[in-house]
Amino acid sequence: MRDRLILLPGWGLGVSPLEPLAAALQGLDEHLQVEIEPLPALASSNLADWLDELDATLPQDAWLGGWSLGGMLASELAARRGERCCGVLTLASNVSFVAHDQWPIAMAGETFDGFLAGCAADPRQTLKRFSLLCAQGCGDPRGLSRLLLGGAPNTAPEVLMAGLELLTLLDTRMALQGFRGPQLHLFAGLDALVPAEAAGELLALLPDVEIGLIEQAGHAFLLEDPHGVAGAIQAFLHESGDD
């Protein structure tokens, strides 16, 4: 088993939400090298620019994973790298964050437009709203929201806007269908940002990959139960890597 896992964070909140999960994974397997890489600080919403940056920065022949936007980017990079990627895992990542005709199980376009307008007017307030939605469905949503917001980096407004604009454009269906390596996709039953029904839709699209639904959990389930998520990931890595 190749023993390097790169994790990419979601939009706006930085690497800190992934740190407990990385620590839990290291605790389960001392041979697994887990690295959290920040998302590119780009003012461009062009996917190719983001993938070029990630491809140049991240080590080859590693497992690629991520939370939300990070998982979507990991999926696209895995497809680009092909056999130079061990496998891909996503946490609370829809194939399209915003609903469209071919993928209606996602956030309504009008709701997302409100995020865009809010971010343009008041990025900090929008991040606060976003952190509350991430924590919704978890056991202590207000406490978890404060934790998420407290660890968020001071990102330039144009970089935050570019990340949101990228989210409106991303559709990872072709990438996931084209990638031949192992895949694990975990969803949350009470997710306020990615509908739980997306898990079933993805299973219909990709019947040969591993897809899990954590029933009583919200978008930030990786921070609420890092040890449970780490156990699922470790089982997947070992099962997929034993060749």
Largest CA distance in the chain: 52
192 vs 129: CA distance, rounded Å: 12
| DSSP line for 113-139 | HHHHHHHHH-HHHHHHHHHHHHHTTSS
131 is catalytic: no
227 is catalytic: no
Helix (H) or strand (E) holding 230: helix 226-241
Query: Exactly one of 68, 75, 96, 240 is catalytic; which is it?
Result: 68
Query: Exactly one of 96, 131, 191, 240 is catalytic; which is it?
Result: 191
Query: Exactly one of 185, 219, 225, 240 is catalytic; which is it?
Result: 219
20 vs 1: CA distance, rounded Å: 23
16 is catalytic: no
β-pairing verdict for 33-36 and 62-67: unpaired
Q: Give residue for tokens 């470790």.
A: 234
Which residues, listed in sequence order, are joined to residue 98 by a DSSP beta bridge? Answer: 107
Q: Which residues are catalytic?
A: 68, 191, 219
